[in-house]
Structure 1
Amino acid sequence: MTAEKIKLLLHTVRYLKPTQVTYRVVRKFKKERPEPGPPPPLRTSNGQVVAWPERAASMLSPTRFRFLNVELERANPGDWLEGGPEKLWLLNLHYFDDLNAEGADERTKWHDALVKRWIAENPPATGIGWQAYPASLRIANWVKWHLRGHELSPLAIESLAVQARYLVRTIEWETMGNHVFANGKGLFFAGLFFGGEEGDRWLSLGLKLLKQELEEEILADGGHYERSPMYHSIVLEDVLDLINLRRAYPDAIPAEYRAFADGWSDLAQRMRVWLNVMLHPDGRISFFNDAAFGIAIEPPGLHAYAERLGLAPVAQAKEGMTHLKESGFVRVQFGNTVGLFDVGEIGPSYIPGHSHADTLTFELSVRGKRLVVNSGTSVYKQFPARQQQRSTAAHNTVVVDGQDSSEVWGAFRVARRAYPLDVQVKQEGDAWVVKAAHDGYRRLPGRVTHRRTWRFDPNGIDIVDQLEGTPNEAVGYLHFAPEATVEGGTVRRGPVTATYEAAGADAQVADGTYHPEYGITVPNKQLRLRFAGAAATLRLQWKDQEGR
């Protein structure tokens, strides 16, 4: 390991909780053993679950699968453990999402055979499929499938119990965050599905983990603390799943957790409101931190699921300004022209694995069309592409001295990170002004503080950047949607035409890449503003084909 990597590692470890460090060591040297044996008795369900939301089908034949936009044949026993573009593809194979996906009832025979094959080819406690995260998701999916009327075989029920026992021993304290939440959900599903003393223990432990994580992970403004609209959507679906499964076993929740469970509906409503604030006018998520289409259920599907559960509709994002103070986002809306501004921390200090070096970035839709976008996420493996997609240069903000505002490295690590300063939001006439700064570049020799002001009105946006300190060089980036063309100071997307003018910087158009889904990279255009001094301004002004 190089001296630079050692330095990065030390700056990363200092943010971890002692529990994370302890369990990282324990997991390296202690191999947990599975507990075979007969399963507990099944708890009696009243069958009152509503339809689970459906993802796109991923099982194309009995042995062919499509995950992350990559199709592969998986016919051999060893195919569970190796092959594929990255580990995330293989993990998806172990999730069993297709059991409850679109058109799943037409693939029942395939699914039944796949469950039997998984049990035969993945002995207890061997391979990545027995890791706690995929085990948690698989437990939930097998239980959902059973409750949909596809009765699990005695062999599958026995395997499910062995998986739950092993999950109890391998809770992801070394990772924490949404992984421990997923572990809690898996045990909650197992604990309601099974009865007896063992099922009751799993249920109580699952509820304990869920209470601990939800109270920390969901912020006061309703946002998930990793500040990713994609992961927020995933956790929202999980909360709705908890509500749904509880309906099937209404009397099974221990008395000490009933008040907590009674609060899930209100929690889901707050999360739905937050999600609406973070959507573009096209109704889809914005790309802050790790985010892409095709992973989480789309927002309309989540809202429809909530309403099937009896939750009231929630309001769309309001006209004008909304400040999600705890999450650190500001939304400004003029009709179907919307700006989303990132003025918050990159994520929780001890689990920033899905964070990007994107402080003071923003996204913009004009007349309902995405125009300015962050670059998205297409890969998790430690490829150069992963580093690039998490970098400051992949976002609509300023790079100083060629460095990232937060030191993202590896696939999921962050060393020193930027913190927001002096956040202000105010109205000036028909415009909203958002001001903020960050200290991410104060670690550099020039001790730079980046200050940014957006002045956003119905017809344009001014972006004013000031660099306090002594930077050697600075480059601002503006990434355009791939559908946009850029030529001669003009940006066009469909009926929308925008012009830009820079002051204090030389503006050059360059080729870039955009990553709307995992496994997908498409070309786009970006604007690079090379600062002439310590301050620069960009004015972006628009009109539609009618000249409005």
Structure 2
Amino acid sequence: MTGPAATAAPSRGASKAVRRGGPLARRRAWRHLPAEQRWARLVYLAKRGWFALPFYPALLPGCGEASPLATPPDPWPGRAEQGLALLGGLYRFAGQSLQAPAPLWQPAEASQAWLAELHAFAWLRDLRAAGSDAARRRARELTQDWLDRHARWSEPAWAPLTLARRLTHWLGQWDFLAASAEHDFRQAVLASATAQGAHLAHSLPAGLAGADLICAVKGLAIVGACLPGGERWLGHALGLLTRELPRQILPDGGHIERSPSRHLAALRDLIDVKAMLHAAGREPPVELEAAIDAMAPMLRLFLHGDGGLALFNGSTAEEALKIDLVLQRAGSRGRPRLSAPESGFQRLQAGRTLAIVDAGAPPPPGQDGQAHAGTLSFELSVGRERMIVNCGTPGADGGPAAWIAALRGTAAHSTLELDGRSSSEPLPVGLWSGPGLATRPQSVSCRREEAEGATLLELTHDGYKAGLRALHRRRLYLAAAGDDLRGEDRIERSEGARPAGFAIRFHLHPEVQASLLQTGDAALLRLPRGGGWRLRASGGTLAIEDSIYWGEERSRRCQQLVITGTAGPGTTVVKWALRREAGKRD
């Protein structure tokens, strides 16, 4: 898979809004960043010239020890198949596979995401999972080669986030990587880790934000707790952490980036910091304990019946076993949160049917690097089977840039698209602004009612107000038995507004098969285990189109149901209902 031409496009118009992002839009997004974050980015950019000076490495401290003071617990599993591939010279990172790349640390054909993964050394876990002496030798050979070639600052090898992740993995995999190695190797690793830790302390916050900043702070905390003389770095890391947690963790426990995958990553990093502090005999800050306790129930809100995450804002389903381990280490055994008004998500559950709804505004500027234009979209599962989904994204580690851009658009989500536009305008990656949003809904509202086991949501957003003079209202009602989901989408437009086409999309999981009934106003959906559901629609034309599902590491073809029509001035109403077929069990 190398790009959009290799498979079915997510849907018509999916990247139209993305293409409107240009230099002017990027500058507008840069101006909208919080002043503190803009200043931090400018300061780091200015420091890069200093870091590149020939004498800079001599200013960084070294370490004469051959063993760390402590090692951080690292229970996270690696992937043995990835480790075996590495032993065979195949490097598979960020959706890109390179066989025997040369030069190894900077092959010309490698993407930036691929390079970041290579230099971050997370693949040490995969070699450990391969479970052989050959894997251990390979880990040491690659580490020694990196030490020989990267004693001086360079990018991407010394980029703050990549550097912090490398320190985490070097020390977290110490027993596998270095504990039984020769003295000179162990000393060289710790000397380099000390220099990198000092550099990281000089660099942070480096304009990082959200889960990336938490990850970088974790790296600084770990190197500070593990290495001699690191007490000052540890203090700096905990200071940044106690400052960031109230900013990033919302009152309902949601992470400010509103991405289930980023929420999972941040929670996992916070758990690692807590475990490291315990291993080093330090008491975790109360803010850290409180954040972990609040985030775990919120993580459960995002879980489908198969144990994976809902696909909002750059998320993938992730591995259910990994999610279970995170919840276990967080000490969470409670029920999922059903309503998260500050984070803007709702969970509707009845019988074996579950709907997870994006009922909030996109994350604020500076925290919207993963944001998708999926306002008021929803996902639906029955038992352990996903039925209605969003298209997802090409992996948390990256993927083909054209696909990443297209899948951020509204058309790649199970919600209403108007005039081929997105409710928010995603931006391409830029040096100054990052891949944030140029425009977004200014007002998003949600009202929830529950009665006798049934749940009603009334939702509104004004993302189509500018230019189209339109308001989108959506009502979702899930009956108490869980066999009846009813929806209503209303487009309210000002007098004099020109007619505009609309499309209400229901992207289907690849295992779900759809067929249009002869009446033309209904479609039959078949789940893998034989369950049948029928979707009926009025107020538009119902059709089946091709789509794509990228909720896992690879793309898969799938179908989507699309209700189309034209919305002129006044109010346009589309009603639809999704009901279980009589006599069928899912």
User: Normalization by structure 1: what TM-score?
Assistant: 0.89
Any residues of structure 2 matched to 1:84-163 within 5 Å, and which?
86-101=111-126, 103=129, 105-106=131-132, 107-146=135-174, 150-151=178-179, 153-163=186-196
Contact 1:53/1:305, CA 8 A, preserved across alignment: no
Letter in 2 for 1:299: I
Letter in 2 for 1:71: S
Matched residue, 2:106:
81
Structure 1 residue runs of 5 or longer lacking an equivalent are 252-257
Letter in 1 for 2:547: G
What per-residue deviation string (whole Å, max 9, x for no partner) do you get for residues 403-452 of structure 1? 110011204121011144331000244421111111111111x3111111
Matched residue, 2:534:
499
Letter in 2 for 1:15: H
Matched residue, 2:303:
279
Q: Which of 469, 475, 496 pairs up with 1:447? A: 469
Distance 1:188 1:129 in 2: 20
Distance 2:178 2:245 in 1: 31
Matched residue, 2:444:
421
SS state of the match for residue 80, structure 1?
coil
Matched residue, 2:356:
340
Contact 1:496/1:545, CA 8 A, preserved across alignment: no
What per-residue deviation string (whole Å, max 9, x for no partner) do you get for residues 487-534 of structure 1? 02101112221111111111111001111234x211100111113442
Q: Report how far residue 393 of structure 1 moved.
A: 0.3
Q: Which of 256, 278, 301 pairs up with 1:247? A: 278
Contact 1:234/1:297, CA 8 A, preserved across alignment: no
Q: Report how far residue 117 of structure 1 moved.
A: 1.1
SS state of the match for residue 55, structure 1?
coil
Q: Report how far residue 65 of structure 1 moved.
A: 2.3
What per-residue deviation string (whole Å, max 9, x for no partner) do you get for residues 123-169 of structure 1? 42113011001101011111112256832611111111111122123
Which of 1 and 2 has higher RCO (CA within 8 Å, sep 6+)? 2
Q: Tell which deviates more after alignment, 364-373 or 267-276.
A: 267-276
Change over 3 Å in CA distance of 1:48–1:479 after alignment to 2: same
Structure 2 residue runs of 5 or longer lacking an equivalent are 1-18, 180-184, 430-434, 517-522
Contact 2:72/2:275, CA 8 A, preserved across alignment: yes
SS state of the match for residue 79, structure 1?
coil
Distance 1:85 1:501 in 2: 47
Q: Report how far residue 83 of structure 1 moved.
A: 4.3
What per-residue deviation string (whole Å, max 9, x for no partner) do you get for residues 351-392 of structure 1? 211000000000000233100000010164673322210000
Q: Which of 219, 224, 231 pairs up with 1:186? A: 219
Change over 3 Å in CA distance of 1:50–1:160 after alignment to 2: closer
Matched residue, 2:520:
none
Letter in 1 for 2:406: Q
Change over 3 Å in CA distance of 1:224–1:422 after alignment to 2: closer
Q: Which of 215, 236, 250 pairs up with 2:267? A: 236
SS state of the match for residue 153, structure 1?
helix
Letter in 2 for 1:178: A
Matched residue, 1:303:
327
Change over 3 Å in CA distance of 1:61–1:210 after alignment to 2: same
Q: Tell which deviates more after alignment, 379-388 or 109-118.
A: 379-388
Q: Which of 201, 210, 227 pairs up with 1:168? A: 201
Q: Which of 222, 225, 244 pairs up with 2:256? A: 225
Distance 1:51 1:349 in 2: 33
Distance 1:526 1:124 in 2: 51
Change over 3 Å in CA distance of 1:180–1:79 after alignment to 2: same
1:16 is the counterpart of 2:54 = no
Contact 1:373/1:481, CA 8 A, preserved across alignment: yes
Distance 1:378 1:149 in 2: 30
Q: Tell which deviates more after alignment, 11-20 or 181-190.
A: 11-20
Distance 2:38 2:250 in 1: 25
Q: Report how far residue 289 of structure 1 moved.
A: 0.5
What per-residue deviation string (whole Å, max 9, x for no partner) do you get for residues 249-278 of structure 1? 114xxxxxx5x6245344323222111111
What per-residue deviation string (whole Å, max 9, x for no partner) do you get for residues 211-242 of structure 1? 12222111111111111111111111111111
Q: Tell which deviates more after alignment, 95-104 or 391-400.
A: 95-104
Change over 3 Å in CA distance of 1:547–1:28 after alignment to 2: closer
Matched residue, 2:562:
528
What per-residue deviation string (whole Å, max 9, x for no partner) do you get for residues 92-135 of structure 1? 11111132345265322111111111111224211301100110
Contact 2:69/2:227, CA 8 A, preserved across alignment: no
Any residues of structure 2 matched to 1:324-473 within 5 Å, and which?
324-378=340-394, 380=398, 383-411=401-429, 412-444=435-467, 446-457=468-479, 458-469=482-493, 470=497, 472-473=500-501
Change over 3 Å in CA distance of 1:149–1:248 after alignment to 2: farther
Change over 3 Å in CA distance of 1:147–1:128 after alignment to 2: same
1:212 is the counterpart of 2:250 = no
Distance 2:484 2:20 in 1: 47
Distance 1:188 1:230 in 2: 22
Q: Report how far residue 191 of structure 1 moved.
A: 0.7
Q: Report how far residue 206 of structure 1 moved.
A: 0.9
1:509 is the counterpart of 2:544 = yes
Distance 2:122 2:346 in 1: 34
Q: What is the aligned residue count?
A: 527
Any residues of structure 2 matched to 1:250-265 within 5 Å, and which?
250-251=281-282, 258=283, 261-265=285-289
Any residues of structure 2 matched to 1:24-103 within 5 Å, and which?
24-30=41-47, 31-33=49-51, 34-36=56-58, 38-40=61-63, 50-57=73-80, 58-59=82-83, 60-62=85-87, 63-74=89-100, 76=102, 78-83=103-108, 86-101=111-126, 103=129
Contact 2:308/2:320, CA 8 A, preserved across alignment: no
Contact 2:245/2:288, CA 8 A, preserved across alignment: no
Contact 1:43/1:192, CA 8 A, preserved across alignment: no
Q: Report how far residue 398 of structure 1 moved.
A: 0.8
Distance 1:544 1:153 in 2: 67
Q: Tell which deviates more after alignment, 531-540 or 501-510.
A: 531-540
Distance 1:295 1:97 in 2: 16
Distance 2:317 2:551 in 1: 6
Change over 3 Å in CA distance of 1:357–1:423 after alignment to 2: same
Letter in 1 for 2:302: M
Two-structure CA RMSD over aligned residues (Å): 2.7
Change over 3 Å in CA distance of 1:432–1:223 after alignment to 2: same
SS state of the match for residue 178, structure 2?
coil
What per-residue deviation string (whole Å, max 9, x for no partner) do you get for residues 158-210 of structure 1? 111111122123224333222222221111011111233xx122111111111
Letter in 2 for 1:454: L
Distance 1:317 1:3 in 2: 39
Q: Report how far residue 17 of structure 1 moved.
A: 1.5
Matched residue, 1:255:
none
Contact 1:233/1:296, CA 8 A, preserved across alignment: no
Matched residue, 1:254:
none
